Amino acid sequence: MKKGIFLAVVAALGFGIYVYAQDKAKSVMPVAKEVPKAMSREDAMKLTDEEWKKRLTPEQYRILRQAGTERSNGQIYKEFKAQGGGTYHCAGCGTELFSSKEKFDSNCGWPSFFDPSKAKNVKTRIDRSGFMVRTEVICAICGGHLGHVFTGEGFNTPTDKRYCINGTALKFVPANGAGTTQKKEGEQKPSKESEEKKGE
């Protein structure tokens, strides 16, 4: 009898660890040491649904290609908050979309930016789904769904816009090339490259 209880406890613990590991594995934002080679718009448009499915994780596919929304305040958001300076690229096509220079803490549970780092790479369109009228944010190169943008909420930023972006749609390239860094005071500097390219 005691042995049975012991085995049940071991099985429950094992299952708990398995579920935790699965959740962690699903929600980690990819981090690249070097700026990824971005796909051309022409190549991105040629990809079929099946090809996107092969290139992306199931969660990336659900967000980027099916306009899904990730869980708020999840593991990926915790990672985002801890990241230092760097650039954020489309997880679908590698195009630079945002940088840490435009990142701000809105406390909404999703990555927030007050502007794209490269305006030409981020497009918006009206989204009338879910009995609401919102402004959807998409990658201008591959058309992937990134999130929504809200204006005039009173945030003390240069634009008073909140680009509410799914972290799952992003790939992070740290400015120092050293992977995810813990945020420290005064460390949120953008890469020289993103500084130069700002406003293109």
Residues lying near Fe ion in the complex (CB under 5 A) are found at 90, 92-93, 139, 141-142, 144
Q: How far is the CB of 50 from Fe ion (least distance, A)?
A: 18
DSSP 5-18: HHHHHHHHHHHHHH
DSSP 94-142: --EEEEGGGB----SSS-EESS-SSGGGEEEEEE-GGG--EEEEEETTT
Of the pair 139, 170, the CB lying nearest Fe ion is at 139
Q: How far is the CB of 75 from Fe ion (least distance, A)?
A: 22
Q: How far is the CB of 165 from Fe ion (least distance, A)?
A: 12
Is 164 part of the annotated catalytic residue set?
yes
Contact 163, 80 (CB under 8 A): no
How far is residue 48's CA from residue 51's CA, in Å, rounded to a whole number?
5
Selecting among 93, 139, 142, 164, the annotated active-site residue is 164
Q: How far is the CB of 52 from Fe ion (least distance, A)?
A: 11
Of the pair 141, 175, the CB lying nearest Fe ion is at 141
Beta-sheet pairing, 134-139 with 96-99: unpaired
Q: How far is the CB of 178 from Fe ion (least distance, A)?
A: 25
Of the pair 86, 144, the CB lying nearest Fe ion is at 144
Of the pair 127, 157, the CB lying nearest Fe ion is at 127
Of the pair 124, 181, the CB lying nearest Fe ion is at 124
Q: Which two tokens stand for residue 135?
A: 């402004």
Residue 81, CB-side half-sphere exposure with 13 Å CA sphere = 13
At 61, is the secondary structure helix, strand, or coil? Answer: helix
Virtual torsion, Cα 76, 77, 83, 89, nearest 10 deg? 70
Active site residues: 164
